[in-house]
Structure 1
Amino acid sequence: MTTLKINHPQTKKYHSEVVKALTAIGNPAFGKAVQQDRGSKLKHLGIKFPALRRRVKQGFSFYKLPEEQVLEVWDALWKTSPYGDVLFAALEYYLPIVKKQVPKKLWPVVKGWAPRIDNWCHSDGLSAIYSRVLESNQKEVYPQLVEWNQAEGEWLRRMSLVSLIHYSGKNAVFMPLKKVLPLVTNCLDDERYYVQTAVGWVLREMRQVYQSEVIKYLQTHAGRLSAPAFSRAVERLNAKELARLRELRRATK
């Protein structure tokens, strides 16, 4: 089936519909505080995530369109909306879908969403989708993560790491260590905070599956790891091993 292109008047109509619905459940003062806290250039309407999820699930008029056109609408809104909450709505629409099954035509579209990211919350939300697409299609997705990992942008680098894991907990780790550690190592000297916290988080989660290998990695790079990366990497580590790593870190700093 050939997708019918959504034209500008339609995009404008759908955007107005979504913004109107989200504004109705928002809090302008909270939105301003969120925007300032995240350092985002996008306007925020001030919506708590549970309320946003309910509204997205409730639906919009374009949900009646074929799947490919729904994606086309969300793509247009993602790339043009000045509201961060509209981007969050797109993420909340697709996250439940990719947890069940990744649409075949999703990746070519959503990989183009990365350049719009300007804060950690959108970054991690998009990474949650990327991780599901990565698991289903490593051949196409992993090389893109490697490319982003070598880019200069803070958020591209963070996404290249966070996308390697399904958030936290059981079944979070699905990638082999040999594909994860080179991306982590490439970011060890990146001094930006949100890259460093991603480094530590990935190491912590990978440790749950590759305990001895990650401990060895932490020992090897103890003096090179930043404080934010180290503190996250050693979370939930037993006291004896933690003391050993701290001593090694002091000795190699």
Structure 2
Amino acid sequence: MRDYTQQLVSFFHEHGNTEVSLPMKKYMKDHFEFLGIRSPERKKLLQEFLRVHGKPTFHEYEKICLELWAQPEREFQYNALELLRKYRRKFEPSTVSLLETLIITKSWWDTVDHIASDLVGFLFQKHPDLIPMYTEKWLGSQNIWLQRTVILFQLKYKEKTDLRLLYQAILACKDSKEFFIQKAIGWALREYSKINSKAIVEFVESHTLAPLSKREALKRIDFPQGDDLGTEPIKK
């Protein structure tokens, strides 16, 4: 492990709190260990560490992120993502391999959703030529986290969303029984409904989606009484 990584790991271990770590672990269904550092404090500690030690060099940051990812405590995966976000304007096409590794390693919604919307989404905007190859590869991978990434990477695109691509991803996954896929489909459709609710209603009417996906997709759409596509009207 590089000296930089070791110093960061040691620094955070000094601030662990067992009383906090146990409920954090329980919240994550016991999938991961925690030091017991809540998000606001963790971000402050990382900034404090960076003020003293500086950021890793551009040539080192990927390897340091992988070293942090290998640590058992979840806070280090969060720190790795914070570091990656600081470097994302320097992302190169090859960065997609690193992001893919992070998506399929220690996978859970808390890291995958951040990678999808903040990192993959940014990389694909910067290098759109990557989109056809990797969306096709990830959709066909049978890995639910790669599939979820394809569904969610355009969350922040707003009017720039490629709706054809979003629909393509949803239709490829719509029959999945996986909760995290069904939820992602609804989330992506709901987010775009803020831009064009009519398009989303038409899509939901025209396709058979899982009840969870349908319910989530239409959450922000206010229907007239009796015209709710089988969902409860939004209460004001």
| Pairwise same-fold verdict (TM > 0.5) | yes
1:123-178 Cα distance to aligned partner (Å, 9 max, x none): 11221211111111121145223322222222222222122222xxxx54533111
| Alignment-mate amino acid for residue 81 of structure 1 | Q
Residue 250 of structure 1 corresponds to which residue in structure 2?
none
Structure 1 residue 118: Cα displacement = 2.4
Q: For structure 1, list consecutive stretches of 5 or more residues without a partner in the other structure.
A: 1-7, 248-253
Q: CA RMSD in A?
A: 2.5
Q: Secondary structure at the match of 1:243?
A: coil
Q: Where do 1:1-253 residues align within 5 Å? A: 8=1, 10=2, 13-39=3-29, 41-60=31-50, 63=54, 65-78=56-69, 80-98=70-88, 101-104=89-92, 106-127=95-116, 128-166=118-156, 172-221=158-207, 224-240=208-224, 243-246=227-230
Q: Secondary structure at the match of 1:240?
A: coil
Residue 234 of structure 2 corresponds to which residue in structure 1?
none
Structure 1 residue 62: Cα displacement = 6.3
Structure 1 residue 25: Cα displacement = 3.3
Pick closer, same or farther for the CA change 1:121–1:213 going to 2, 3 Å.
Answer: same
Pick closer, same or farther for the CA change 1:198–1:102 going to 2, 3 Å.
Answer: farther
| Alignment-mate amino acid for residue 149 of structure 2 | M
Residue 4 of structure 1 corresponds to which residue in structure 2?
none
Pick closer, same or farther for the CA change 1:179–1:72 going to 2, 3 Å.
Answer: same
Pick closer, same or farther for the CA change 1:54–1:145 going to 2, 3 Å.
Answer: farther
Structure 1 residue 232: Cα displacement = 1.4
Q: TM-score normalised to the size of structure 2?
A: 0.84
Q: Secondary structure at the match of 1:66?
A: coil
Measured in 2, the distance between the counterparts of 1:70 and 1:172 equals 30
* Aligned partners of 1:134 and 1:141 also within 8 Å: yes
* Aligned partners of 1:134 and 1:142 also within 8 Å: no
1:25-84 Cα distance to aligned partner (Å, 9 max, x none): 333233232233323533111222122222222335764542121232222332x22221
Sequence identity, in percent?
16
Structure 1 residue 203: Cα displacement = 0.5
* Aligned partners of 1:42 and 1:82 also within 8 Å: yes
Structure 1 residue 17: Cα displacement = 2.1
* Aligned partners of 1:102 and 1:136 also within 8 Å: no
